[in-house]
Amino acid sequence: MPTAVILMNLGTPEEPTAPAVRQFLREFLGDPRVVEIPRPLWMAILHGFVLPFRPKRIAPAYEEIWNRGLDGEPVEGSPIHYYTRRQVELLQARLADNRPDITVDYAMTYGKPGLDSTVARLRREGFDSFLILPLYPQYSATTTGAIYDQVARIYRTNRDIPDISVVRDYYRHSLYIRALANSVREHWETHGAAEKLLLSFHGIPKANVRKGDPYETQCRETARHLAAELGLPDDRWQVCFQSRFGKAEWLQPYTDKTLEAWGREGLASVDVICPAFASDCLETIEEIAEENRANFQRAGGGEYRYIPALNARPDHIDALAAIIEEKIPLAC
């Protein structure tokens, strides 16, 4: 049976303007998977304090990366959209010869194109079997869990239910780890190895982990596998967590605080990689590559280098193709 594979990433505003950012944040931060505090309280905060002010503050950051991406690389529109589309194109080409039964498409958890509309379009084209591949190597209820919710809504609103399966995680898949390691090695071949390698993962509230979210464990497992693949001793690498929001305690150590501390200690050089991000986006380009570089060097640190996300690297495409083929065995 022909199968449609749908890559899913977080999403992005439609354009780098305050109204578009507001619309995106309303959908994103309005998801109870993302913010788990009591709904009446959070809705009052979201609509009374966050949405009236935050979009105006961060729209210029989106504008800065729009059509430019990392280090001014020309991209079309939002980097996360651009890289996800490139992954689709390259995966389709990679699978074309041996797996003509697989068609690759994409959707965004928030914003457009949504999963429901993508599935509906593909069903009109004759597909009834779907594999959802979230571009989140590590599972969290705040990310992949939200995708399961969207699949459940498709089940609830269709009488003729399609066959949908979801790749839960791939945080220690050998080809994913190898692609990460290759990206670090190539960076070192060009720039030399820094004194420290910082592995910065997107944070989640610590309370989520206490409730059973496996995200932290999977992040640290990814880091251990990557360090082992690179042959790094324990004193050469550090796991940290970025992008915290609000006043609650999030997973620690915090990326920004760690870099500031290293800067005060006079660390001569640091390489930073974000293994939880399959595509470069606002959180890697603006927050990690730029903002945290400034914080580190302002505190007294030396050379700061960001190692890009895997994006459309051939070894990343190989890893995604292998995951897909493992989930959709070739019919005999």
Q: What is the pLDDT along the chain (332 residues), one digit of tens a residue?
A: 799 999 999 999 999 999 999 999 999 999 999 999 999 999 999 999 999 999 999 999 999 999 988 888 889 999 999 999 999 999 999 999 899 999 999 999 999 999 999 999 999 999 999 999 999 999 999 999 999 999 999 999 999 999 999 999 999 999 999 999 999 999 999 999 999 999 999 999 999 999 999 999 999 999 999 999 999 999 999 999 999 887 889 999 999 999 999 999 999 999 999 999 999 999 999 999 999 999 999 999 999 999 999 999 999 999 999 999 999 988 65
User: DSSP state, 276?
Assistant: T
Domains 3-170+314-327 and 174-307 share a fold: yes
What is residue 331's predicted lDDT score, i.e. its pLDDT?
Answer: 65
Task: Give the type of residue at 248.
Answer: A
Contact 24, 36 (CB under 8 A): no
Q: Does 174-307 carry CATH code 3.40.50.1400?
A: yes
Is 191 annotated for ligand binding? no
Distance of alpha carbon 247 from the chain centroid: 23
**pLDDT on residue 179:** 98
d(CA 301, CA 37): 37
**Strand 129-134 to strand 303-307: parallel, antiparallel, or no bridges (unpaired)?**
unpaired
Query: Phi then psi for 212, rounded to 5 degrees?
Result: 120, 5
Q: Which class does domain 3-170+314-327 fall in?
A: alpha beta
Domain limits, the chain = 3-170+314-327, 174-307
Instruction: Tell whether residue 202 is among the known ligand binding residues.
Output: yes
**Residue appearing with tokens 């999963």:** 115
pTM: 0.95
- In this prediction, residue 330 carries a pLDDT of 80
- Helix 115-124, helix 144-156: angle, nearest 10: 50
Alpha-carbon distances, residue 133 vs 76, 190, 217, 248, 277 (angstroms): 23, 32, 21, 30, 14
